[in-house]
Amino acid sequence: MQEYTTPSTLTVADDVTTITRIQRLRRERPTLPLFKRRGDSGHWITVTAGQFADEVDAVAKGLIAAGVERGDRVALLSSTRYEWSLLDYAIWRAGGITVAIYETSAPDQVHWILSDSAAKLLLIENDAQRAKHGDVIAEASALNETLVIDDGAVAELRKRGADVPDSALDEREAAAGASDAATMIYTSGTTGRPKGVVLTHRNFISETEAVRNAVGTGLVEGKSTLLFLPLAHVFARVVAVGCVENGVVLGHTNDIPNLVPDLGVFQPNYVLSVPRVFEKVYNSAQQNAEDGGKGAIFEKAAATAIDYSRSLDSGGPGLVLRLKHTLFDKLVYGKLRAALGGHCEAAVSGGAPMGERLGHFFRGVGIPVYEGYGLSETTAAVTANNEDHFRIGSVGRPVPGVSVGIADDGEVLLKGPVVFTGYWQNPDATAEAIHDDWFHTGDIGRLDDGYLYITGRKKELIVTAGGKNVSPAQLEDTIRAHPMVSQCLVVGDQKPFIGALITIDAEAAPGWLERHGLPADTSMEELAKNPELRAEFDEAVKAANAKVSAAEQIKKFDVLATDFTIDTGELTPTLKLKRNVIHDTYKQAIADLYS
């Protein structure tokens, strides 16, 4: 078995928790800026370490008054906002365990999480969500109360806790330890019933320290980032905790339609996101250029950025390439950097693999995207690229304290202080995932000089009727690079050849229709059958096929009139395909590929 370890001297003391840092900052550096929260008029208000710690204490007292005991589960269902982090830390301060629930979760998912975790209290964002989940909330037998954030849940908790003495918090803190459970994050359930991943305070502290050492300048006091990923996802959660631990100013936003203006005002030093967002940034820039009659210029600029980035790994750019890069920096690249606020030094991508093409494009533009790899079970990143060790196409080397192994069948194995100890009340699933001292990820990969490359997922591998193993991810990633493609599902398990279902990006459709002289009210059904669009998608499929062997190539595809969405249950909240759901929903469309 291949194995690579990055050593670490970090030891997390038994009495350290995620609360330890804000307590120390309140005593020693209460004026240190920790957050920027959006005010009523939309401007950003600085929250210092002392202010945040005091708010946490006041809300934690309210939780105690509401009956939250040590070890009780408190569910938090909300979009990304300042109150999410405030309530999260308050739950920890009260000795509770935060059960994170995505705001996009379906009622049956919420029902399962509330019942499985036996959450005592639910903190939900707004009345619409409360109404949506009203029936399952009523059925949650362990649930004592539901408080609505937009209806003043924070103020209500502060009011209830007014008479709770400081000694109650001191007692909870004295009883807390690094090995205590801090949160439960439920898996996305792409292949079955979600499992509750239990992460401890030690997991979080180990992760934030390891990532700080691995990422370097990104988690340095005084830097800032604007968080827009869902905080129910482990990646965003670790970012939030890591910012507090390292003095990075953190802002929250859930206003995705106005994300670009927010970035312009907030001016973050780092952007953290999932690959699909970077794909959308690229595709939108390309689409806008084409809509403005500058598509050819953008294509040349993109090719130059990619060539420039590739040259950095092979001796550096020549004179002609440098001149072209300088020209396009003024025409194109500078505008892209300005769209991210003008102060963005780099970005971090996680949650899913990002294509090599995108990695070279953004580095060539001047915004290197450091890709990492991790799972909920590993408290986010176990490997990461950084400015000193950077290989585009890889997910980096192990962060300090982590060992990566490659089993004989190619499965990625992990161990280290960031790895969880088990699933909530599910010993069978725990034993299946952790054995022989290794956590078995289910991902397929390879190691090269310590750099990990993820090549697929065991449960996603397609085995054709001819016995050929095909990993769909690379094909799907390449096809999604087309600006009119929203999603792509590669199929072909036990079939004679590989096929694909492609969906149309509704946001890009109006510009495409205008450029092709078609009516703006053209339906998606008509567009899916349009021969010109299908010809473009055919070229995208050919580009994907050029990267794989003949047996792995897509022989037939169809274009769907409807997209895969979170609301229909076909995508996870982090935009991963729920393959089993899509296979069931579109079983006739898949069957038609082979008829």
Q: How does pLDDT run across 394-414, given as a tens digit for each residue?
A: 999 999 999 999 999 999 999
pLDDT at 216 (0 to 100): 67
Provide the residue range defining the domain that includes 186.
22-256
In this structure, the number of other CB atoms found within 10 A of the CB of residue 11 comes to 10
The helix or strand, by DSSP H or E, that contains position 429, with its residue range, turns out to be helix 427-433
Residues 134-152 pLDDT 10s: 999 999 999 999 999 999 9
Contact 594, 495 (CB under 8 A): yes
Kindly state the average pLDDT of the residues 204-221. 82
Residues 25-82 pLDDT 10s: 999 999 999 999 998 887 899 999 999 999 999 999 999 999 999 999 999 999 999 9
**Binning pLDDT at 50, 70 and 90, where does residue 574 land?**
confident
**What is the C-alpha separation between 351 and 236, in angstroms, rounded?**
10
**What is the C-alpha separation between 47 and 218, in angstroms, rounded?**
20
Contact 243, 221 (CB under 8 A): no
**Binning pLDDT at 50, 70 and 90, where does residue 497 land?**
very high
Least confident of 153-162, 380-389, 401-410, 567-576: 567-576
**Res. 437: pLDDT tops 70:** yes
Domain count, the chain: 2
**What is the C-alpha separation between 129 and 75, in angstroms, rounded?**
14
Looking at 70-200, list the stretches that DSSP marks H as alpha helix, in order from N- to C-terminal side. 82-93, 107-117, 127-132, 134-139, 153-160, 166-175
Least confident of 157-161, 162-166, 387-391: 387-391
pLDDT at 180 (0 to 100): 98
pLDDT at 286 (0 to 100): 87
pLDDT at 190 (0 to 100): 54
CATH at residue 470: 3.30.300.30
Kindly state the average pLDDT of the residues 356-366. 94
Residues 314-351 pLDDT 10s: 999 999 999 999 999 999 999 889 888 889 999 998 87
Determine what percent of the chain is predicted with pLDDT higher than 70. Answer: 98
What HEC string does 103-137 produce?
CCCCHHHHHHHHHHHCCCEEEECCHHHHHHCHHHH
Least confident of 63-77, 216-230, 237-251: 216-230
DSSP annotation of 94: T
CA angle 484, 487, 493 (to 5 degrees): 135
In a domain, 488, yes or no: yes
In a domain, 27, yes or no: yes
The residues, ordered by sequence, that sit 6+ positions from 453 with a Cβ below 8 Å of its Cβ are 393, 394, 395, 445, 446, 447
CATH at residue 193: 3.40.50.12780
Kindly state the average pLDDT of the residues 296-320. 96
Q: Name the residue with higher pLDDT: 320 or 255.
A: 320
In a domain, 341, yes or no: no
Kindly state the average pLDDT of the residues 364-380. 95
Kindly state the average pLDDT of the residues 343-372. 90
**Binning pLDDT at 50, 70 and 90, where does residue 450 land?**
very high
Contact 347, 356 (CB under 8 A): no
**Binning pLDDT at 50, 70 and 90, where does residue 204 land?**
very high
Domain end marker among 209, 224, 256 = 256
Residues 86-132 pLDDT 10s: 999 999 999 999 999 999 888 988 999 999 999 999 999 999 999 99
Average pLDDT value over all residues in the chain: 93
Question: What is the maximal distance between C-alpha atoms in the chain?
Answer: 72
**What is the C-alpha separation between 234 and 185, in angstroms, rounded?**
7
In a domain, 113, yes or no: yes
**What is the C-alpha separation between 97 and 75, in angstroms, rounded?**
8
In a domain, 587, yes or no: yes
Q: Per residue in 427-450, is it b (16+ CB within 10 Å) or e — as a string?
A: eebbeebbeeebbbbebbbebeeb
Kindly state the average pLDDT of the residues 558-576. 89
Domain end marker among 223, 256, 289 = 256
Rg (CA), the chain: 24
**What is the C-alpha separation between 392 and 355, in angstroms, rounded?**
9
**Binning pLDDT at 50, 70 and 90, where does residue 189 land?**
low
Least confident of 477-486, 547-556, 565-574: 565-574
pLDDT at 414 (0 to 100): 98
In a domain, 291, yes or no: no
**Binning pLDDT at 50, 70 and 90, where does residue 367 land?**
very high
Q: Is the dihedral of CA 258, 271, 97, 384 positive or negative?
A: positive
**Binning pLDDT at 50, 70 and 90, where does residue 279 land?**
confident
pLDDT at 192 (0 to 100): 63
In a domain, 397, yes or no: no
Domain end marker among 256, 276, 300 = 256
In a domain, 547, yes or no: yes
Kindly state the average pLDDT of the residues 463-485. 87
Determine what percent of the chain is predicted with pLDDT higher than 90. Answer: 76
**Res. 215: pLDDT tops 80:** no
**What is the C-alpha separation between 345 and 407, in angstroms, rounded?**
37
